[in-house]
């Protein structure tokens, strides 16, 4: 009898290494990971060992803010080529630059009816789980309008 290893079934992976902070088993504690430099003050998305601005190693990992505002956006109206992971049939979706109070802008899908997108929209970071082609749980994320509840539940 084939007995699947229960623990590996529940092992989650981030959509990209070094991009998420916090325990992936507890989605409400997951944040975007950032690297901030104590020498020059630069903060960037993702974990890095050197400052992207001054090149020093005086950096530390931080959890980025969950709230941001929509700085700019576009609407993807055609199915992207390649291994597109979104709904079938394709539905248009927004992609935007989300300005975080940490001092950086993050490119992210925006889970919102495209007609409601506007500059300055208040957004909330929203991690969620999807499965890859091998059935493994992948923690992905988007931003959604704040105070409107989840689109993933």
Site residues (vs Zn ion, CB under 5 A): 37, 39-40, 42, 51, 53-54
- Output 51 or 64, the one with its CB closest to Zn ion: 51
CB of 62 to Zn ion, least distance (A): 14
Least separation in angstroms between CB 42 and Zn ion: 5
DSSP single-letter state for residue 66: S
Cα–Cα distance list, 8 to 5, 45, 100, 124 (Å): 6, 28, 34, 30
Residue 54 or 91 having the CB closest to Zn ion? 54
Residue 44 or 100: the one with the smaller Cβ distance to Zn ion is 44
List, in order, residues 6 or more apart from 98 with CB less than 8 Å away. 68, 69, 70, 71, 105, 106, 107, 108, 110, 123, 143
Of 50 and 129, the one with the shorter C-beta distance to Zn ion is: 50
Taking a C-beta distance cutoff of 8 angstroms, is the pair 120, 72 a contact? no
Q: Output the six-digit token pair for 102.
A: 């940490």
Residue 105 C-beta: closest distance to Zn ion, Å:
18
How does strand 137-145 pair with strand 12-14? parallel
Compute the least distance from the CB of residue 18 to Zn ion, in Å.
18
């Amino acid at each position: 009898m084939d007995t699947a290893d229960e623990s590996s079934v529940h092992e989650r992976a981030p959509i990209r290494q070094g991009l998420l902070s916090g325990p992936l088993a507890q989605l409400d504690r997951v944040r975007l990971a950032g690297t901030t430099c104590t020498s020059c003050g630069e903060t960037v998305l993702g974990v890095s060992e050197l400052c992207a601005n001054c090149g020093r190693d005086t950096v530390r990992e931080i959890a980025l803010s969950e709230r941001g505002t929509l700085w700019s956006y576009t609407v993807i109206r055609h199915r992207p080529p390649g291994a597109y992971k979104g709904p079938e049939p394709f539905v248009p979706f927004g992609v935007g630059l989300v300005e975080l109070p940490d001092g950086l802008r993050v490119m992210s899908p925006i889970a919102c009816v495209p007609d409601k997108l506007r500059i300055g929209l208040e957004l909330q970071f929203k991690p969620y789980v999807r499965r890859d082609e091998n059935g493994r749980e992948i923690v992905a994320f988007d931003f959604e309008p704040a105070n409107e509840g989840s689109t993933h539940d």
